[in-house]
Amino acid sequence: MDPRAGRTATTCFVVSSTEYQSTPCPRCAKVAHVDKRALGDRIAQAREAAGMTQGGLGEAVGLDRTAITRLEKGERKLSAHELVAVAEALGRPMSYFVSAPVPAVVSRRSDTSHAHETTRALDVELQGFASDIQILMEMRLLTGHERAGDVKTPRDHTVAEQVAQEVRQKLSLGDAPVRDLGAVCERLGLHTFSASLGAAGPDGGCVEVGDATACLGAAVINGDTPAGRRRMTLTHELGHWLFGDAYDVQASSDSERMINSFAIHFLAPRAGIRTVWDQYGELPVRDQALAIGASFRLSWSAVIAQLKNVGFINDGEYRDLNEYEPRSGDYLRLGISWDEELKSPYVSPGFAAACLNGYVSGRLTGHRVIELLRGTLAAGDLPHQDPPSRDSLRTAFAGHGGG
C-alpha cells in the first residue's frame, strides 16, 4: 500500500455553514460570493462615488469603455488582475467588491429623511463592516455571543427605563456616566465603526452577523454628527441589537420611540442625573442642564428632554431651555468639557484589538489590517509582528505517527 494513501491532513476542520450567502459553494457552503451583476453594481457605485467616467476608469485599468460598460452590467468576466486594478483605481479595498451581501439591515436611523445617496453610503459601510466582522469570527479572532432571546422591545417608557437599568446592572455601571461607550457596547456583543457620512448624513445603522448560537452586532454611526448625537445614535443601535427587533413580530412603529427611550435612560439614568443635578444645585437651571449634558455627554435636545421626562424641569422650563442651543463656550464657562468620543474615524477597541492580534500572530497581513482599521492607524504604528516560533513547526510533525 502506498504510505501516502489515507493519511490524515494536518489541518482539517469541521465544516459549518452561514445563513446568508448569495451563491453557496459546493464544498461546505462556506464561501459566499457576490455574482457578476452585484459586482458590476458595486463597481458602478464606486466609480460614480469617485467621480470617474467609464472611459476614465477604463483608461486607468487598461480596458476600453465598452468593457467597463459590460462589466458594470455583469456581462463580462473579470480576472483577478483586472479587479485588483479596478480596486486600486477606485481607491477601495477589494473586500468592498467581493464580500458577500450581509443580511437585512436591522435598523437604519433617519433613513426616511435622507436622499438615496446618503443612505446608500451608510449601507455600503454597514456591508463592509459586517462582512469584516464575519470574517474575523470565521478566523476566530472575534468570538460570537449566543443571542439572548428573552429581551424584547419595550412597549412603554416605564419598561424602557427598567430595561435600561437592568442592562446597566448587568454591566456594573451603577448610575455613573458611560465613559467609553464603544467598549461598553462591545461587552454586549456590538462592535462599532464611526464613519464619515457627512454632517447632514444618516445617523447610523446596525446589522447582525452570524447565527443565534454565535453572533455579533455591527453598528455604523455617522462620525460627522455632534458628539452627543453620536452617543445617542450608538445607544439606539445598542437597543436594536439587544432587543433583536428585526425578529420581533410584535415590534411596531412605536419601537423606534421605545428604543430611544431605552437609550436615554441607559445613557442618563434618573439616579445619576439626580446626583449631578444636586452637585450643581446652586447654579441656575440652565447651567445645571449644561452640567448634566457634559457629565453624561448628551446632546442639548436629549438633555432637556430627559430632564423633562424624569420631572426635573417643567414644560415652561423645557420651552425656555429649548430656545437657545448652547455653544461650546457655555460649557467651558462652567469649567466643564467633554472629549470627542466616537468621532470619525473610530473603531471600537475590541474590534481593533482583534485585528491587531491577528496581525501580530501573522494571521492577517499588515496591508489588510490597515484596511480593517479604517484609517484609525497608520502602517508605521503597527505593533511588531511575532516571528514564527519553533512551536509553530509542531504542525509539520503532525500526522506522521510521532508523539
Partner 1 sequence: MVVAEQHRWVMDTSTYTHLCRAGHSDIIRSLAPAGVVLIPTDVSTEIETGRDRYSDIPSVSSIDWAEVAVLTEEEVWTQLEVKAQMGGQSVEHLGECAVIACAYHRKLIAILDDRAALAQAERLHVCTYDTMWIVIEAFKHLYGRDKNRTAQVVDDLLTTGMYLPVDSGESIMSWAYEEGLLP
Residue with grid cell 442592562, as numbered in its chain: 167
- Among the listed ranges 159-167, 181-189, 257-265, 357-365, the one in contact with partner 1 (CB under 8 A) is 357-365
Nearer to partner 1, 67 or 370 (CB): 370
Sites for partner 1 among residues 369-388 (CB under 8 A): 369-371, 387-388
Query: What sign for the dihedral angle of Cα 61, 62, 65, 66?
Result: negative
Least Å distance between CB 108 and partner 1? Answer: 25
135: Cβ contacts below 8 Å, ≥ 6 apart: none
Q: Would you state the cell numbers that stand for residue 21, as one nine-digit string?
A: 450567502
Number of residues binding to partner 1, judged by CB under 8 A: 65
338/267 Cα distance (integer angstroms):
15
Least Å distance between CB 31 and partner 1? Answer: 5
Provide the phi-psi class of 35: left if phi over 0, else alpha when psi is between -120 and 50, else beta: beta
Interface pick for partner 1 out of 89, 90, 135, 142 (rule CB under 8 A): 135
* Under rule CB under 8 A, residue 322 binds partner 1: no
Least Å distance between CB 131 and partner 1? Answer: 9
Contact 259, 239 (CB under 8 A): yes
Least Å distance between CB 400 and partner 1? Answer: 5
Contact 201, 222 (CB under 8 A): yes
Sites for partner 1 among residues 262-281 (CB under 8 A): none
Query: 3-class DSSP state for residue 108?
Result: strand
Indicate the pairing of strand 346-347 with strand 190-195: antiparallel
Q: Where are the alpha helices (DSSP H) in 52-115?
A: 54-61, 65-72, 80-90, 94-98
List of E strands, 294-375: 346-347
Query: What sign for the dihedral angle of Cα 361, 366, 370, 372?
Result: negative
Nearer to partner 1, 23 or 169 (CB): 23
Nearest partner of 261 among 306, 300, 301, 217, judged by Cα: 306
Contact 151, 243 (CB under 8 A): yes
Q: Would you state the cell numbers that stand for residue 156, as one nine-digit string?
A: 412603554
* Under rule CB under 8 A, residue 138 binds partner 1: yes
Nearer to partner 1, 247 or 397 (CB): 397
Nearer to partner 1, 13 or 311 (CB): 13
Indicate the pairing of strand 190-195 with strand 214-222: parallel
Nearer to partner 1, 221 or 354 (CB): 354
* Under rule CB under 8 A, residue 401 binds partner 1: yes
Least Å distance between CB 281 and partner 1? Answer: 56
Query: 3-class DSSP state for residue 258?
Result: helix
Which helix (DSSP H) or strand (DSSP E) does residue 250 occupy?
none
Nearer to partner 1, 89 or 291 (CB): 89
Least Å distance between CB 388 and partner 1? Answer: 5
Interface pick for partner 1 out of 61, 106, 139, 155 (rule CB under 8 A): 139
Least Å distance between CB 7 and partner 1? Answer: 8
Mark 57-96 with x for binding to partner 1 (rule: CB under 8 A) and - for no binding. Answer: --------------------x-xxx-xxx--x----xxx-
Interface pick for partner 1 out of 28, 148, 183, 332 (rule CB under 8 A): 28
Nearer to partner 1, 63 or 181 (CB): 63
Contact 345, 194 (CB under 8 A): yes
Nearer to partner 1, 101 or 326 (CB): 101
109/204 Cα distance (integer angstroms):
5
Nearer to partner 1, 332 or 398 (CB): 398
**Using CB under 8 A as the criterion, which residues of the chain lie in contact with partner 1 when the complex forms?**
2-5, 7, 9-15, 23, 25-28, 30-31, 33, 77, 79-81, 83-85, 88, 93-95, 97-99, 135, 138-139, 358, 361-371, 387-390, 392-403
